Structure 1
Amino acid sequence: MSWFGFYAPSMAWLAFLIVPLVLFYFLKLKRPRLTITSLVLWQQVINDSRVNSPFQRFKRNLLLLLQLILLILLIAAAMQPFWRGRVSRIQRLPILIDCSASMAALDKPAGKSRLDAVREKVTEIIDGMLPDQELCLISFGRTARRRTPFTSNKKILLDALSQIEVEDVPSDVEDALRMTQALERTTTFSEVLLLSDGNFPTEADFELSFTLNYQRCEHPGPNFGITSLNARRTPEAMWDIFVRIEGSGDAEGTMTVEVTRDGERVGKESLSIAKGESERIVFRVSGERASSVEVKLTPDGFDSLASDNRALLDLPALRRLWVYAPASLASFRHALKPLAGIRLFPDEDGKTTETDFDLVITDRADEKTLSGRTCLYVGLVPEALSGLVTAGKKGTQVVDWRRNSALLQHVELRDLIVLDDPRSAENVQESDYEELGYEVLVHGTAGPLLLEKREGEKLSYHMLFHTDRSTLPYRVGFPILVSN
């Protein structure tokens, strides 16, 4: 593809106008012949005769030169020349447009949003399209949506662009990239333009077969927002609600945080945040009934994004947690009994009156069918991993563990003695476990010792060694692990 071209090359026929222009110059002299006595004009007459003679070199004439240059420029303008930029040299270009909640951020009070800035940029690309170019518009928030097929129709593209609105959801760029990759199977293109503010993971778990031209939106104005909202039950059958407020790097000011429960205000607090800092505040509400909690943030000054100033949390009615641990796991039952707010099954008579539990801890394969929102399987290898890991008896050591895991917070595993020896099969990598949905929390010398898997609302932990064949129950961290 040539970098230089013309929109209307057919207008080149206007170059034939040069012929009559030169011809008129040849024929412009029509002087009558007169006999005179002076010789002054002889040289001029000889020169004019030479000019009017075909195929003879005519004298330089500034006026004719200017006329020819002007005519050539007019012909070139009629042919509409262009110089292809980087984008215009691409024949087919998919454009991915982020329309998640963060794209509503404003650059100043009553200013334009990030999405408005993206619309302006894409509009410029559409207006500058060449006749042989085609664009495809894809918007994405939580999911991707193809707005247009590949087309060179500017009206269709502009209409589709105007219909893209901000969605109050997080962005998932992977869904958009997968859609684009599927599009490549039917249409050929080599580059994709991504317009976003960058609030998504920096790495995708699949390879791209095209070049990704990522253009990040400009930084908006200062922003305050609720970045974390969670609740923790207390021994007094109450809920402690933890709210974290953060500001962007250039944001500082005062604000008010208000908490309502089923529409009734239960707390209000004013706070001040410096640039790049955050604040955590705690509110306590009763857990006697199920309720919906709303937290609302009201900055005193300009806030570029309003969608992160409100958060909701549904709280169930508090009751004692139902925990199942068989008699064979005496160490776990011993650590569970002192904990407040739990009901332990089986009871002292060995009876179990329930079938659904909040927590199931077991080392028996026949009890894997017990229903629990959180499960810890001790000394059992999941069937899905039977080809990846085997349980040996030669002993192993802890190499590393995820200290930020909710299960292992404040649990020290250094110098732990383990008599079992879970071993990964030959050439098995950590990524092989991750492909099946398992995350390795504790690494041994030859394989994983503890795995985590989340399926919807169910969270399961798989301890590939038995605690009775280790020194874990005798360590200070064991009751902490059980409490976690």
Structure 2
Amino acid sequence: MTWLTPTIAGIAAAIAVPALIILYFLKLRRRDVEISTTLLWKKTIQDIQANAPFQRLRKNILLFLQLLVLAGILLAIAQPQIRGDISTGTQRVILIDRSASMSATDGNPDAIGDMRGAMTRLDKAKEAALKLVDSLREPSLIGAGPVDEAMVIVFDTTAEVRQQFTADKARLRAAIESIEPSDAPSQLTEALRLARAHLPDKMLADTVTDESGNTTTRNITLEGVKAGGATIHLYSDGRLPDAESAITSAEDTVTFVQVGRTDAANVGITAMRADRAFDTPIDVSLYVGLENTARTAQEVELELLIDGITSRVTTVTIPAATPPIGAEFGDEADEDAKMLAAMLPWTPGVTGRTFEFAQAEGGTFAVQITAADPGKDLLPVDNRAWMIVPPAKQLSVALVSPGNLFLITALEGLPLARLVQFSPEQYTAATARGEMAEFDVMIFDGWVPTIDGEPGLPPGRFLVLGAVPSPLGVAAGSEPAPAMMLDWRRDHPVMRLLLLDRLQMLKLPDIVVPEGSGATVLAETDRGPAILELSQARTRAMIVPFDIGQSTWPLDVSFVVFIGASVNYLGQEGGVFGASGDSFRPGSVLTDRLPIGAKGVRLAIPGSSERAELQPATDGRIAYGPIRKAGLYEASWVGPAGAGDATDGSRVVRMYAANLLDPAESDIAAAPLLLLTGIPLEAELADDAKAMIRLWPWVILAALVVLMLEWYIYNRKVYI
């Protein structure tokens, strides 16, 4: 038990208690009245004798009750409270994880599988955070004593301050209760960085002695250097992939409040990809990747829907998750081994199914799964995925090259609708006349156009060979040098069928990839990147910065495979189809470029009647986000339509798909141990978090009850 204002209560007691007792020593002052006889006044005479000055106190229940009332009031002034397991601090930072895995429905373990009593992890985290708010020290009855402040930060991929530091519990409660779930993955680093940015600057005491020997001390604020010592309460299931690299101060106290079960099971869709056959674009191959985190094999029903109509249904058995290597679970294992094995993550079971069918028309493809055992599928958001598929077509390709026999030969062997070769001068003239818009893919060989004085790429789909377009660059002072291939992304649609281990380059530039450029390295050599993908709004490009004529690549069959796969990938919108050429993940910003002249742009949000009003930039660019929900987003406007856009009355419509498709987020088993900045942090269960219980209101209530009893006894003239 602790006391907020014991000194003030002690002073009040030293004054009030003696004063009350003295009242029972004092003689009653009475008025003299003459009467004829005292026979009827014996009781009064006894009372006069008993109230002589400074007599010995007799037993008096009224005095006892009044002392009890006074003791209760004095205890209330001291403000006693019982402290639970939650740590204290002047400033507290409440971090609440609202990522996709926090929507798992095991917040109430007793209701797993029963949707009527189900409770999400986020609801459980909010409940525990509200307990913490109730436990904060607040201003005392007379304004004395320390006061706790707290701020509320909610995070998924990004972080957001819901409430600045305040001691107002009503505002803190409102901020916590207003938190809504998100379908985005989780990242802790941004939340901790945001929390530290709102801490006060560090102060140092500077002692100065003047010529007379007088010493003065002043406080110096170190701008930009944040004070440590904050108490951080993290409410999460521990599925934080960047926790080990997150940075906290050595002076901070971090409490990890775990929500969710460590053995929580889930089945989900973790991959979705569609390809049209290059030679027969009408043929579609749709792959769906599935994951199971349960420790037994799970059966699910997999359904394919095209434009909302069921096309195919199949039953899939997903293998069980496998235990950590070397983990011991049997009866022969000791308790420490079993505890260690329980803390290590299991490897989810994975499988996949491919749907193959003919579909000349475009449309919205959706897949969804239904688990045979709902208790083994606690996360709903990863049970559906969508993609926007354009109509089948054979591609038109423009080649801008001074003449490259290897490249021309490879392109002529592809089943293209049209292949047209331009010189750089012819391309520039055709672009000025607006004639290049009819090509699906443009290939630049050893040359790229100039945009704003720099080599760059306009909106479109490009394959660039032997050149480095902006925003990529070449390291200053470097010269092209021989290089050998080390590794490449085998999970990329273009790279997955390639064998590049024997590829050698005579002159490879030292490529610089600026942060935030939208470039992804697909192949790495001993000198740096050799193949890259650039994705920026309405521009997508595959970039090979070295001269293929000065390499061994044209003599390898993988070169022809690469050219064909690149053209198909770029022309068919990258395999993850969409009218905009992009599929988005919750937590990212939805960006696109609409036709020039689009007006009245509205974006429909999935699962809501909300319509976001967007204002396109002068080049037609729009941006919305970060998007929080998975599903289908619909942009509509009045004005010209682009390729693949639909119409709805007088408005043009373009669809976007947002999917979780994150194996780490679908693995919802709560972590009993969190490695924060490399330091193990043991979890505290949300149900075990104890709040501060104030006793002084109950003491006042008891004092009032005793006061009412004293009034009753006084009026009944009861004495002992």
Quickly name the TM-score band, shorter chain normalised: 0.7 to 0.9
The 1:161–1:354 alpha-carbon spacing in structure 2 relative to 1, beyond 3 Å, is: same
Shift of residue 333, structure 1, vs aligned partner: 2.7
1:123 Cα deviation (Å)? 1.5
Alpha-carbon spacing, 1:298–1:447, altered in 2? closer, same or farther (3 Å): closer
Q: Secondary structure at the match of 2:166?
A: coil
Structure 1 residues 29-428: aligned runs within 5 Å: 79-81=78-80, 88-107=87-106, 108-109=112-113, 110-131=117-138, 132-141=147-156, 143-171=158-186, 173=188, 176-177=191-192, 179-184=194-199, 190-199=230-239, 201-202=241-242, 214-219=256-261, 221-234=264-277, 235-236=279-280, 237-250=282-295, 252-276=297-321, 277-302=349-374, 303-327=377-401, 328-340=403-415, 343-346=418-421, 354-355=436-437, 357-367=439-449, 373-386=460-473, 388=475, 392=479, 394-423=481-510
Corresponding residue for residue 620 of structure 2: none
With 354-363 and 89-98 compared, the bigger mean Cα shift is at: 354-363
Structure 2 contact 395–417 (Cα < 8 Å) conserved: yes
Partners in 2 of 1:141 and 1:315 — Cα distance? 29
The 1:170–1:388 alpha-carbon spacing in structure 2 relative to 1, beyond 3 Å, is: same
CA distance in 2, matches of 1:141, 1:423: 36
Change (3 A) 1:205 1:481: farther
Q: Using the TM superposition, give the Cα deviation of residue 116 of structure 1 relative to its aligned residue in structure 2, in angstroms.
A: 1.8
Which residue pairs with 1:58 in the alignment? none
| Higher deviation after alignment, 273-282 or 379-388 | 379-388
Q: Is the 8 A contact 1:390 1:423 kept in 2?
A: no
Query: Which of 7, 14, 17 is the matching residue for 1:16?
Result: 14
- Quote the offset at 1:162 in angstroms: 2.0
Offset at 1:468? 0.5
Relative to structure 1, the CA distance from residue 151 to residue 393 in structure 2 (aligned partners, 3 Å threshold; closer, same or farther) is closer
Relative to structure 1, the CA distance from residue 435 to residue 259 in structure 2 (aligned partners, 3 Å threshold; closer, same or farther) is closer
Which AA in structure 2 matches 1:412? L
> Residue by residue, what CA displacement relative to the aligned partner does 1:30-70 show, whole Å, maximum 9, x if unpaired?
xxxxxxxxxxxxxxxxxxxxxxxxxxxxxxxxxxxxxxxxx
Note if contact 1:391-1:420 (Cα within 8 Å) is conserved in structure 2: no
Counterpart CA distance in 1 for 2:520 and 2:496 is 16
Cα deviations by residue, 1:416-459 (Å, 9 ceiling, x for unpaired): 332214246xxxxx7x6445444444444444333333213533
Distance 1:480 1:208, change over 3 A: farther
1:263/1:194 CA distance change after superposition, 3 Å: same
Q: 1:366 to 1:415 in 2, by over 3 A?
A: closer
Shift of 1:225: 1.4
Tell me: CA distance 1:445–1:375, structure 2 relative to 1, closer, same or farther (3 Å). Answer: same
CA distance in 2, matches of 1:141, 1:171: 4
**Contact 2:456 2:470 (8 Å CA) reproduced:** no
Give per-residue Cα distances to partners, 1:192-241, cap 9 Å, x unaligned.
43323345541699966795655443337321112122211124312222
Q: Distance in 1 between matches of 2:457 and 2:523?
A: 25
Q: Match of 1:261, as an amino acid?
A: I
How far apart in 2 are the matches of 1:459 and 1:224? 33
Contact 1:252-1:273 at 8 Å conserved across structures: yes
Report how far residue 86 of structure 1 moved: 8.3
Secondary structure, in 3 states, of the residue corresponding to 1:267? strand
Contact map agreement 2:446 2:547 (CA 8 A) in 1: no
Partner letter of residue 365 of structure 1? Answer: W
Taking a change above 3 Å as real, the CA distance of residues 288 and 372 of structure 1, as seen in their structure-2 partners, is farther
Q: C-alpha displacement at 1:270, in angstroms?
A: 1.4
Residues 170-205 of structure 1: CA distance to partner in whole angstroms, max 9, x if unpaired?
Answer: 445565455435434789663543323345541699
Deviation (angstroms), 1:289: 1.7
Consecutive unaligned residues of structure 1, counting only runs of 5 or more, are 28-70, 425-429
Query: How many Å separate the matches in 2 of 1:106 and 1:386?
Result: 48
In structure 2, C-alpha distance between the alignment counterparts of 1:437 and 1:207, rounded to whole Å: 26
Match for 1:224: what amino acid? Answer: V
| Alpha-carbon shift at residue 414 of structure 1 (Å) | 3.0
Paired AA for residue 359 in structure 2: G
5+ residue gaps, structure 2, are 26-69, 107-111, 139-146, 202-225, 322-348, 450-454, 566-720
Q: 1:115: Cα distance to partner? A: 0.8
How many correspondences in the alignment?
433
Query: 1:482 offset after TM fit, Å?
Result: 1.8
Give the Cα–Cα distance (whole angstroms) in 1 for the partners of residues 519 and 156 of structure 2. 27
Letter in 2 for 1:195: Y
Distance in 1 (CA, whole Å) between partners of 2:299 and 2:525 is: 49
8 Å CA contact 1:397–1:444 kept in 2: the answer is: yes
Distance 1:230 1:154, change over 3 A: same
- Structure 1 CA distance for aligned equivalents of residues 503 and 298 of structure 2: 49
Q: 1:453 to 1:383 in 2, by over 3 A?
A: closer
CA distance in 2, matches of 1:96, 1:356: 52
User: Quick one: distance in 2 between partners of 1:227 and 1:433?
Assistant: 30
Q: Secondary structure at the match of 1:164?
A: coil
450, 454, 458: which one pairs with 2:535? Answer: 454
CA contact (8 A) 2:95 2:232 kept: yes
Compute the RMSD of aligned alpha carbons.
Answer: 4.1
Moved more, 327-336 or 228-237: 327-336
TM, length-normalised to structure 1: 0.75
Q: Is the 8 A contact 1:360 1:370 kept in 2?
A: no
Aligned to 2:379, the other structure's residue is in SS state coil
Instruction: Give the TM-score normalised by structure 2.
Output: 0.52
**Following the alignment from structure 2 to structure 1, what is the Cα–Cα distance between the partners of residues 540 and 314?**
35
Q: Post-superposition shift, 1:249?
A: 3.6
Query: What residue identity is the alignment partner of 1:363?
Result: D
Moved more, 11-20 or 201-210: 201-210
Query: Residue type of the partner of 2:91?
Result: R
CA contact (8 A) 1:5 1:82 kept: yes
| SS of residue paired to 2:165 | coil
- Give the residue type in structure 2 aligned to 1:167: S
Q: Residues of 1 paired with 2:417 and 2:172: CA distance?
A: 60
Q: Which amino acid aligns with 2:89?
A: I
Does structure 1 retain, via aligned residues, the 8 Å contact 2:9–2:78? yes
Given residue 462 of structure 1, which amino acid in structure 2 is its aligned partner? I
Query: Contact conserved, 2:264 with 2:294, CA < 8 A, in 1?
Result: no
CA distance 1:309–1:473, shift in 2 (3 Å): same
Q: Residue 79 of structure 1 aligns to which amino acid in structure 2?
A: A
Partner Cα separation in structure 1 for residue 399 and residue 255 of structure 2: 54
Query: CA 1:188/1:372 → structure 2, altered by over 3 Å: closer, same or farther?
Result: same
* Distance (whole Å) between structure 1 residues aligned to residue 264 and residue 104 of structure 2: 8
